[in-house]
């Protein structure tokens, strides 16, 4: 099927925090410990089995409609600051980086939006099929594999690229305590319709008040948010 890497090339795999502390002791376990991890594995494995026909259909459609790689991966930052390759179905044109540069050059308003949110509401790089996949959050289903690999969780902060960590400031320490999530507080609280500062606050609040019940509530709330495509683009 092929895999598309970020158009500027993947940054080197890195770890913002070492696996061990200066005295050699292991870094703290991810938020929720083994209990949360067991739930993640059970849900991700079941979802992959149930959704396999859909995933194969989407792969065929992407290949047929757009050509090029079916999957896209990008380095994201996870638990304890370790980097990992985050997987998605490809929703953008193969020449997306040059398209973005030209669009930002021609539109100061778009450039400002990109600098504020690291995202564009009307993104010229997104294909017609990609727009549908994004609207229904189907493009993120390959992240179920990231969950099985222990790099992500069903519920957690939204995975960020290294350049975004400066937006977290001192609250980055809360982000590092959890595995990034397929869904999370941000996704069920307005998604792209809220500010980045609010997103950071929601991530901190989630980590500080985590419980299995909180995860269940977020998962249940995710269903209508996805079906109604609230705040997605």
Q: What is the chain's mean pLDDT, rounded?
A: 85
- The pLDDT value recorded for residue 227 is 83
Over the stretch 161-173, which tens digit does the pLDDT of each residue have?
A: 998 898 899 999 9
Instruction: Say if residue 8's pLDDT is above 50.
Output: no
Over the stretch 217-233, which tens digit does the pLDDT of each residue have?
A: 999 999 998 888 766 65
Tokens of residue 4, six digits: 């598309």
In contact, 200 and 171? CB cutoff 8 Å? yes
In contact, 83 and 76? CB cutoff 8 Å? yes
Spatial separation of the C-alpha atoms in residues 1 and 16, rounded to whole Å: 32
- The pLDDT value recorded for residue 7 is 42
Of 163, 137, 159, 139, which Cα lies nearest the Cα of 227? 137
Rg (CA), the chain: 18
Over the stretch 62-74, which tens digit does the pLDDT of each residue have?
A: 998 877 889 999 9
Instruction: Say if residue 1's pLDDT is above 80.
Output: no
pTM: 0.81
Of 230, 232, 177, 229, which Cα lies nearest the Cα of 206? 177
Cα angle 45, 127, 91 (rounded to 5 degrees) comes to: 25
Over the stretch 178-216, which tens digit does the pLDDT of each residue have?
A: 999 999 999 898 877 788 899 999 999 999 999 999 999
Over the stretch 11-60, which tens digit does the pLDDT of each residue have?
A: 333 344 434 333 333 457 899 999 999 999 999 999 999 999 999 999 99
- The pLDDT value recorded for residue 191 is 77
Over the stretch 59-108, which tens digit does the pLDDT of each residue have?
A: 999 998 877 889 999 999 999 999 999 999 999 887 777 888 888 888 88
- The pLDDT value recorded for residue 48 is 96
Can you give the length of the chain in residues? 233
Tokens of residue 209, six digits: 């008040």
The string of DSSP codes covering 62-128 is HHHHH-S-SEEEEEEE-GGGBEEEEEEE--B-TTHHHHHHHHHHH-HHHHHHHHHHSS-SS-TTB-H
Map tokens 């990008």 to a residue. 74
Helix H or strand E encompassing 61 = helix 33-66
Pairing of strands 83-89, 153-155: unpaired
């Amino acid at each position: 099927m092929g895999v598309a890497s970020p158009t500027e090339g993947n940054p080197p795999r890195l770890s913002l925090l070492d696996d061990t502390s200066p005295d050699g002791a292991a870094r703290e376990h991810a938020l929720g410990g083994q209990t949360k991890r067991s739930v993640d594995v059970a849900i991700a494995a079941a979802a992959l089995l149930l959704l396999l026909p859909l995933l194969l259909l989407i792969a065929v459609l992407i290949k047929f409609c757009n050509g090029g790689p079916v999957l896209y991966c990008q380095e994201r930052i996870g638990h304890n600051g370790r980097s990992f390759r985050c997987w998605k179905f490809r929703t953008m044109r193969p020449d997306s980086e040059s398209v973005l540069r030209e669009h930002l050059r021609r539109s100061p308003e778009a450039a400002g939006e990109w600098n504020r949110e690291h995202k564009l509401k009307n993104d010229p790089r997104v294909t017609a099929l990609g727009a549908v996949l994004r609207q229904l959050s189907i493009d993120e289903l390959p992240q179920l594999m990231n969950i099985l690999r222990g790099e992500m969780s069903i519920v957690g902060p939204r995975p960020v690229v290294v350049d975004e960590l400066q937006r977290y400031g001192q609250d980055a320490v809360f982000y590092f305590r959890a595995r990034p999530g397929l869904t999370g507080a941000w996704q069920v609280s307005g998604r792209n319709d809220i500010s980045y500062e609010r997103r950071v606050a929601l991530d901190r609040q989630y980590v500080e008040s985590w419980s299995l019940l909180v995860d269940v509530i977020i998962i249940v709330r995710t269903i209508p948010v996805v079906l109604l495509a609230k705040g997605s683009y």
